[in-house]
């Protein structure tokens, strides 16, 4: 099965898309990577979903990526007497560690790390930013605040502290348990929530090692301040616009999204744009025109993937949402201005042998218009560097490693195929030509551009470019 588009689709599985028939239908409609959201559902739920995905992979002979999304720390108020109160603008309101149910004058906030990081004047956001408080006075276990924006507030609503670097690990005990479980199942990517600094990636890497690739979710303003360091240490980036849009003025989010995408494209790291992309399709069979434009804008910017959350996990129209996203991507990529925009935002290659080879691949593809570029890779490095160049022709990634093939499902323009090990260049070229034909990329007489690293099996050795003609 071949996708005739470059950008990829990530879809979240949930109550609306858990059985075998639903997962199959989503895959056939265009899903490349399935997201298992560990904020919801049980471990056994996710294990069954992954088993279904792997069965589909065997049936269709196409590697399918699986993204484990960890919940991360959840900062929440405690409960209220009666379950709900009204806060009035201008009123004083106290937050403290006392777990007694709150009222209109105080509420429990069982997070000492928040109090430890507060300063006078810090603003706190409640319930996804619907209410806003300003800290007037604080201590190790309390904060006296003024209500700037009032409204109703109920039990266990979320708390955001946008301007403060919180002394919190991104991995809670629940996350560590879920991580062990998911790695044992064989997930391909791990999405790390609540990333604030590069050290958070290092902490996760110490636990994950090479068993999965790490995707940092950028949802905190502090992460933007350390963007380059986080991108450098991560395997991929997710622009998690939900919390980012709560903690920052919403008019800043499009600018930051574009900045993050460009930083990832420059580094050659896969980037996913997520949250509320087709939000109205949770309840409606068609999206708003603004949502269509939102998805299209991300594709025009050259993202590797766009993601569906509740639309596919719990919405009424998961198949329609995937089909709509597929059509939007296809229409954008057929637009002549798409290619010119990709070329205009292309970053200069680094001064390495691998980038010199892949930059030449881009030039050869533009001059010769081959049927495909073919990368032979064991670790995925060659395919990633080739995808960074955003060549005008498809990238056929040949690998003897199923794990690497699944990870490539997240990457722009890459069609991964599992092949046997090769032992010399002639065998590799023959394999590339044969696979380009059998996968429907090339016909007899067509050219393909082959990129690989010698010696075979060593990561980061991309040093060979060969133009081959498919035998007649």
pLDDT band at 163 (very low <50, low <70, confident <90, very high): confident
Please compute the mean of the pLDDT values over residues 219-227 and round it to a whole number: 93
Alpha carbons 201 and 198: distance in angstroms, whole number: 5
Question: According to the model, what pLDDT value does residue 37 have?
Answer: 97
Q: For the chain, what's the residue count? A: 472
In contact, 277 and 417? CB cutoff 8 Å:
no
pLDDT tens track for 75-110 = 999 999 999 999 999 999 999 999 999 999 999 999
Alpha carbons 320 and 255: distance in angstroms, whole number: 29
Q: Compute how many other C-beta atoms are within 10 angstroms of the C-beta atom of residue 271.
A: 28
- Location of structure tokens 């495909």: 372
Domain boundaries in the chain?
A: 8-73+170-337, 84-160, 353-469
pLDDT tens track for 136-146 = 999 999 999 99
- Residue 176 annotated in active site: no
Radius of gyration of the chain (CA): 24
> Is 353-469 assigned to CATH 3.90.245.10?
no
- Residue 217 annotated in active site: yes
| Catalytic member of 275, 377, 399, 462 | 275
- Residue 74 annotated in active site: no
Q: Which of 239, 241, 182 is nearest to 49 (CA)?
A: 182
**What 3 state SS string does the chain have?**
CCCCCCCEEEEEECCCCCCHHHHHHHHHHCCCEEEEECCCCCHHHHHHHHHHHHHHHHHHCCCCEEEEECCCCCCECCCECCCEEEECCCCEEEEECCCCCECCCEEECCCHHHHHHCCCCCEEEECCCCEEEEEEEEECCEEEEEEEECEEEECCCEEECCCCCCCCCCCCHHHHHHHHHHHHHCCCEEEECCCCCHHHHHHHHHHHCCCCEEEEEECCHHHHHCHHHHHHHCCEEEEEHHHHHHHCCHHHHHHHHHHHHHHHHHHCCCEEEECCCCHHHHCCCCCCHHHHHHHHHHHHCCCCEEEECHHHHCCCCHHHHHHHHHHHHHHHHHCHHHHHHHHHCCCCCCCCHHHHHHHHHHHHHHHHCCCEEEEECCCCHHHHHHHHCCCCCCEEEEECCHHHHHHHHHCCCEEEEECCCCCCHHHHHHHHHHHHHHCCCCCCCCEEEEEEECCCCCCCCEEEEEEEECCC
pLDDT tens track for 426-445 = 999 999 999 999 999 999 99
Please compute the mean of the pLDDT values over residues 46-50 and round it to a whole number: 97
| Catalytic member of 3, 5, 35, 220 | 35
In contact, 432 and 376? CB cutoff 8 Å:
yes
- Residue 79 annotated in active site: no
Q: Compute how many other C-beta atoms are within 10 angstroms of the C-beta atom of residue 289.
A: 8
Percent of the chain with pLDDT over 70: 100
Helix 318-334 / helix 336-344 crossing angle, nearest 10 deg: 80
pLDDT tens track for 105-126 = 999 999 999 999 999 999 999 9
| Catalytic member of 24, 74, 76, 434 | 76
pLDDT tens track for 279-306 = 999 999 999 999 999 999 999 999 999 9
In contact, 32 and 65? CB cutoff 8 Å:
yes
pLDDT band at 198 (very low <50, low <70, confident <90, very high): very high
The two tokens of residue 89 are 């603008």
In contact, 427 and 445? CB cutoff 8 Å:
no
Name the average pLDDT for the chain.
Answer: 95
| Catalytic member of 106, 217, 362, 385 | 217
The CATH number, out of the four listed (3.90.1150.10, 3.20.20.60, 1.10.8.420, 2.40.50.100), of the domain defined by the range 8-73+170-337: 3.20.20.60
Question: According to the model, what pLDDT value does residue 399 have?
Answer: 95
Q: Compute how many other C-beta atoms are within 10 angstroms of the C-beta atom of residue 234.
A: 27
Question: According to the model, what pLDDT value does residue 214 have?
Answer: 98
Q: At 355, phi and psi to the nearest 5? A: -75, -30
Please compute the mean of the pLDDT values over residues 249-273 and round it to a whole number: 96
CATH of region 84-160? 2.40.33.10
């Amino acid at each position: 099965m071949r996708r005739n588009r470059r950008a990829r689709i990530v879809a979240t599985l949930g109550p609306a898309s858990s059985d075998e028939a639903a997962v199959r239908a989503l895959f056939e409609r265009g899903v490349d990577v399935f997201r298992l959201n560990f904020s919801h559902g049980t471990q056994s739920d996710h294990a069954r979903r992954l088993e279904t995905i792997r069965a589909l992979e065997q049936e269709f002979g196409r590697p399918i990526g699986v993204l484990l999304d960890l919940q991360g720390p959840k900062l929440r108020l405690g409960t209220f007497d009666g379950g709900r109160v009204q806060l009035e603008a201008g009123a004083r309101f106290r937050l403290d560690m006392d777990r007694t149910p709150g009222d209109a004058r105080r509420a429990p906030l069982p997070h000492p790390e928040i109090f430890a990081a507060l300063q006078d004047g810090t603003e706190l956001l409640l319930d996804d930013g619907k209410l806003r408080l300003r800290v007037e006075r604080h201590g190790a276990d309390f904060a006296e605040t003024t209500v700037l924006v009032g409204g109703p507030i109920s039990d266990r609503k979320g708390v955001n502290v946008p301007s403060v670097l919180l002394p919190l690990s991104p991995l809670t005990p629940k996350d560590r348990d879920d991580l062990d479980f998911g790695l044992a199942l064989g997930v391909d990517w791990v999405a790390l929530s609540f990333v604030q600094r590069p050290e958070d990636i290092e902490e996760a890497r110490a636990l994950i090692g090479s068993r999965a690739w790490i995707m940092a979710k950028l949802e905190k303003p502090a992460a933007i301040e350390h963007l380059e360091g986080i991108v450098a240490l991560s395997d991929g980036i997710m622009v998690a616009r939900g919390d980012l849009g709560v903690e920052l003025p919403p008019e800043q989010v499009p600018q930051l999204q574009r900045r993050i995408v460009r930083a990832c494209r420059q580094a050659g790291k896969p980037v996913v744009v997520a949250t509320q992309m087709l939000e109205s399709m949770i309840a409606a069979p068609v999206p708003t025109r603004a949502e269509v434009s939102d998805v299209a804008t991300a594709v025009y910017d050259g993202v590797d993937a766009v993601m569906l959350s509740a639309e596919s996990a719990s919405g009424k129209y998961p198949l329609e949402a995937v089909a709509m996203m597929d059509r939007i991507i296809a229409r954008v990529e057929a637009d002549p201005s798409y290619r010119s925009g990709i070329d205009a935002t292309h970053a200069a290659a680094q001064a390495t042998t691998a980038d010199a080879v892949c930059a030449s691949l881009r030039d050869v593809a533009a001059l010769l218009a081959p049927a495909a570029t073919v990368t032979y890779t064991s670790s995925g490095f060659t395919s990633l560097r080739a995808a960074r160049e955003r060549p005008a022709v498809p990238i056929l990634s040949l690998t003897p490693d199923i794990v690497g093939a699944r990870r490539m499902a997240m990457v722009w323009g890459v069609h991964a195929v599992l092949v046997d090990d090769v032992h010399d260049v002639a065998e590799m070229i023959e394999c590339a030509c044969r696979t380009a034909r059998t996968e429907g990329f090339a016909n007899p007489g067509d050219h393909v551009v082959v990129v690989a690293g010698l010696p075979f099996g060593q990561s980061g050795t991309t040093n060979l470019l060969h133009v081959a003609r498919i035998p007649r």
